[in-house]
Amino acid sequence: MKIFGLFLLGGLILGACAGESRRIAGSVERLDPGLDSIIGPDALVEVIAEGFNWSEGPLWVEEEKMLLFSDVPENIVYKWTAKKGLEPYLTPSGYTGSQPRGGETGSNGLLLTRKGKLLLCQHGDRRLAIMNAPLDLPEPGFTPVADNYEGKKFNSPNDAVQRSNGDLFFTDPPYGLEKRANDPAREIPFQGVYKVNGKGQVTLLTDSISRPNGIALTPDEKTLIVANSDPEKAIWYTFDLGSRDSLVNPGILMDVTGEVSQAPGLPDGLKIDSEGTIFASGPGGIWVFGKDRKLLGKIKVEGVASNCALDEKTSTLYITADSLILRVKM
């Protein structure tokens, strides 16, 4: 059965392969002429796959010419290629325990380490972990990178970014716990932003953000941007990295609390390209900021945008939006 250019095979909805027509599920809102040099006037917001519970953590892997992303509640990572469309890639992805449990158990943010390994923010196992198998032959089996702070298990690591020296910065909201902030299994009474170095040493950078979610480093690796997915404080925060990576000079990229009632979505995953352009999921879709941090425009999408990913040449932006996977050719 064909649905919107997708094929249902064995109960799995697969994205159409190259050459198939695709439906449009969004538009580009231009607020500043500077957007024209980033997203062309004819850019389309195309659906390349759909039918997911909650898609997240998109990652473009240039070596394999594939897009990986998490379906968090379903505990699976999918891959999409232009040649074959959609295929299951890895399951389980975030919860490897034998005891059945509810909640958002799968992986969330995905990251390719400097050594070419797949790192997963595993909600169910409440840790950062690296897949042991090579990228082209994925299979279950993980090596933990960080799973606790001062002996207490994390809530549910959500998103991460790696610095050129190998250090990882990551967020730890409660979304992967069955009862979230009220879960009896919760061991840390706050939502932290952390750093873990190459020796596995975990440092708490801040515990003052109510719902830290997406995280990114500027190209010069001097500033950290953290999205706060709190409808009462829907803000992208900025912090300069000071001595021993202390967070100094706190600032606000933008406060969109007033937008939350106008369009679905909250500050969530974000990416920054090599020129410093910021692509940040928020109310209504993806908010695009120039390297001077001026808002240039928005990619408005169906559903709720959760995150985005750029290919190696910054020629294509991929967006996870609830049940959809979207593509915008830049």
Question: Measured over all CA atoms, what is the biggest interatomic distance in the chain, rounded to whole angstroms?
Answer: 58
**9 φ, ψ to 5°?**
-125, 120
Compute the distance between CA of residue 317 and CA of residue 303 in angstroms, rounded to an integer: 17
**245 φ, ψ to 5°?**
65, 25
Residue 9: enclosing H or E segment and its boundaries? strand 6-9
Q: Is 74 annotated as a binding residue?
A: no
Q: Which residue has the tokens 């993806």?
A: 286
Q: Are 85 and 14 in contact (CB under 8 A)?
A: yes
Concatenate the DSSP letters of all residues of 153-207 into one string.
E-S----EEE-TTS-EEEEE-STTSTTGGG-TT---SS-EEEEE-TT--EEEEES
Catalytic residues: 268
Compute the distance between CA of residue 100 and CA of residue 299 in angstroms, rounded to an integer: 38
Q: Is 75 annotated as a binding residue?
A: no
Residue of 319, 300, 172, 116 lying closest to 327 (CA atoms): 319
Amino acid in position 189: P
Amino acid in position 209: I
Compute the distance between CA of residue 143 and CA of residue 131 in angstroms, rounded to an integer: 7
Adjacent-strand bridge partners of 216: 225
Q: Is 56 annotated as a binding residue?
A: yes
Q: Is 182 annotated as a binding residue?
A: no
Q: Are 144 and 157 in contact (CB under 8 A)?
A: no
Q: What angle do CA 274, 278, 37 make, to 5 degrees?
A: 75
**258 φ, ψ to 5°?**
-70, -15
User: Which residues sit in the known binding site for substrate?
Assistant: 158
